[in-house]
Chains A and B, each alone.
Chain A
Amino acid sequence: GENVEQHPSTLSVQEGDSAVIKCTYSDSASNYFPWYKQELGKRPQLIIDIRSNVGEKKDQRIAVTLNKTAKHFSLHITETQPEDSAVYFCAAPSGTYKYIFGTGTRLKVLA
């Protein structure tokens, strides 16, 4: 089955700097990779996703890149703001419609 690894587990950045979170997956057949943001005690919110037919997708300050050969995908947040502080999870499909989640990255943006 699919195995997802996520790094780093914690990340502190100064406000305005960029943050990068990386995930690797094991199943070369995986073709859809979402990123979720979870604030304390709240539900995970989908922030961006990418399909395997593209290498990069951008939405304002958030971008995701995918390297199918190396089997990794990364979340990039530019011009970070304090409200970006949260836990971010990547996921990869496993079986029919199921997700396997990464272990999460706790991002802290320092004002």
Chain B
Amino acid sequence: GAVVSQHPSWVICKSGTSVKIECRSLDFQATTMFWYRQFPKQSLMLMATSNEGSKATYEQGVEKDKFLINHASLTLSTLTVTSAHPEDSSFYICSARVPSGRETQYFGPGTRLLVL
């Protein structure tokens, strides 16, 4: 149980284009999902908390107009990197919280984004 998938696993795009990343909880309903980015050899930095049916909560310093998050259903959250630039190249990982009163988060496999 508690399986989280992400799609795509990797993407290469040109500077200025937008990229959408999907995060799905496969065997449970996730009212709360989280989006992280991870640069090489660094820790996971929380970008935003995605809440089903309401607006995402962004961490300080994260541009909400650049990183659009939509959590339209209990099993799907999407992150859209708008007008991507080379400095947005990173490993983006989502996680989902199992809504059983526990705090445990389960992570997706990540999406490696390379902006040329």
Contact = CB atoms under 8 A, between A and B. Distances in A.
A84 interface: no
A43 B104 contact: no
A93 B103 contact: yes
Interface string B35-60: 00000011111100100000000000
Given A102-B43, A104-B42, A43 B109 contact: yes
Contacts, number: 48
Interface in A53-104: 89, 93, 96-104
B103 to A, nearest CB: 5
Contacts of A45: 107
Interface in A1-41: 32, 34, 36, 41
Which of B45, B103, B109 has its CB near the most chain A CB atoms (within 10 A)?
B103
B44 A43 contact: no
Contacts of B107: 36, 43-45
Contacts of A101: 43-46
A104 B38 CA distance: 12
B75 interface: no
Secondary structure class of chain A's binding surface, majority of residues: strand
Nearest to A42: B109
Interface of A: 32, 34, 36, 41-46, 49, 89, 93, 96-104, 106
Interface string B102-115: 01111111101000
B67 interface: no
Contacts of A42: 109-110
B105 A99 contact: yes
A42 B110 CA distance: 7
A43 B93 contact: yes
Given A43-B107, A43-B110, A44-B107, A97 B43 contact: no
A44 B95 CA distance: 10
Contact of B103 (A36, A41, A97): A97
Contacts of B44: 44, 89, 101
Contacts of A43: 93, 107-110
A36 B36 CA distance: 14
